[in-house]
C-alpha cells in the first residue's frame, strides 16, 4: 500500500512557473512528501540563525581581541542573534532567500555542460564596469547591470563580441574545446 502511494505521488509530481511581469515569478509544485521534507529541511537550515554563528563569532572575537578580552559563549550567542535580527525579515522571506541561494548553488556534476544553466546576457562593457543600466537576457527579460556582475562572479563566462549591427565578431570560450560555445545560440 505504501509503495503504491509513493508511485502515485511520483506520477502526480509537477512544477509550474508564472512570470508576474514585475521582476518576480510565482510557482506551484507537487512533489512526493519525502522530496518536500528534504527541501524544507535544507531551506530551514540555510535560513537558521546558527548559520550566522561562525561569521558573528569571528566578528565578535575580532572586536573582543582588539580590546584584549576573550568572549564568552553567551556573548557569541548574542552576536549571532544580533546578526540574524539585523536582516529585519520575516521567516517566509528568510526561507525565500535561502531557496534562491539554493537554486543559485545547485551542484552541476550531473548536468550536461557542468554549469547551473546557460543564460545569455547582453550588456554594454561600460555599463558592466559602472554597474549602471540594464542587461538583456536571451529569455526576453532584463536585469540590472549590478545583478549581471553578481551572477558573473560565479559563472563560466563566454564573452561574445558584436559589432554595431549585432554581427558576431568573436565568440570566447570557457574551456579548450567548443562544446559550450557550440551549444549557446547567438542572437
- pLDDT band for position 182 (50/70/90)? low
Q: How far apart are CA 46 and CA 174, in angstroms?
A: 31
Residue 34: beta bridge partners?
A: none
Q: What percent of the chain clears pLDDT 70, i.e. is strictly above it?
A: 61
Burial (CB < 10 A; 0-12, 13-18, 19+), residue 150, is: middle
Looking at residue 111, its pLDDT comes to 65
161 and 170 in contact (C-beta within 8 Å)? yes
Among 84, 115, 79, 109, which residue's Cα sits nearest to residue 98?
84
Q: Among the listed ranges 18-22, 81-85, 108-112, 122-126, which one has the minimum average pLDDT value?
A: 108-112
How confident is the model at residue 12, as a pLDDT?
94
Residue 63 is predicted with a pLDDT of 66
Q: Residues 30, 31, 36, 38: what is their CA dihedral angle, to the nearest 10 degrees?
A: -150
CA dihedral angle for residue 82, residue 87, residue 92, residue 93, rounded to 10 degrees: -160
* Longest pairwise C-alpha distance within the chain: 65
How far, rounded to the nearest angstrom, does the alpha carbon of residue 18 sit from its chain's CA centroid? 19
Q: Does residue 107 register a pLDDT over 70? A: yes
Q: Give pLDDT, residue 20.
A: 94
Residue whose cell numbers read 558573473:
152
116-145 average pLDDT score: 76
φ/ψ region of 81 (left if φ > 0, alpha if ψ in -120 to 50, else beta) reads alpha
pLDDT at 162: 66
Q: Which residues pair with 170 in a beta bridge?
A: 161
Q: Which residues contact 10 (CB under 8 A, 6 or more apart)?
A: 32
Could you tell me if 104 and 119 are in contact, meaning their C-beta atoms sit under 8 angstroms apart?
Answer: no
Residue 187 pLDDT exceeds 50: no
Q: Give the mean pLDDT of the chain.
A: 75
At residue 69 the predicted structure's pLDDT band, cuts being 50, 70 and 90, is low
Amino acid at each position: 500500500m505504501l509503495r503504491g502511494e509513493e508511485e502515485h505521488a511520483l506520477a502526480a509530481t509537477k512544477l509550474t512557473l508564472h512570470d508576474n511581469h514585475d521582476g518576480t515569478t510565482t510557482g506551484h509544485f507537487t512533489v512526493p512528501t519525502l522530496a518536500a521534507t528534504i527541501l524544507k529541511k535544507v531551506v530551514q537550515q540555510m535560513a537558521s540563525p546558527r548559520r550566522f554563528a561562525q561569521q558573528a563569532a569571528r566578528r565578535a572575537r575580532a572586536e573582543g581581541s582588539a580590546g584584549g578580552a576573550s568572549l564568552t559563549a553567551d556573548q557569541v550567542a548574542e552576536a549571532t542573534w544580533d546578526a540574524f535580527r539585523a536582516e529585519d525579515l520575516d521567516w517566509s522571506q528568510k526561507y525565500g532567500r535561502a531557496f534562491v541561494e539554493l537554486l543559485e548553488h545547485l551542484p552541476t556534476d550531473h548536468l550536461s555542460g557542468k554549469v547551473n544553466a546557460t543564460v545569455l546576457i547582453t550588456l554594454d562593457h561600460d555599463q558592466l564596469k559602472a554597474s549602471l543600466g540594464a542587461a538583456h537576457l536571451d529569455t526576453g527579460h532584463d536585469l540590472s547591470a549590478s545583478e549581471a556582475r553578481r551572477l558573473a562572479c560565479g559563472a563560466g563566462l563566454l564573452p561574445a563580441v558584436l559589432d554595431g549591427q549585432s554581427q558576431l565578431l568573436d565568440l570566447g570560450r570557457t574551456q579548450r574545446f567548443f562544446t559550450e560555445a557550440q551549444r549557446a545560440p547567438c542572437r
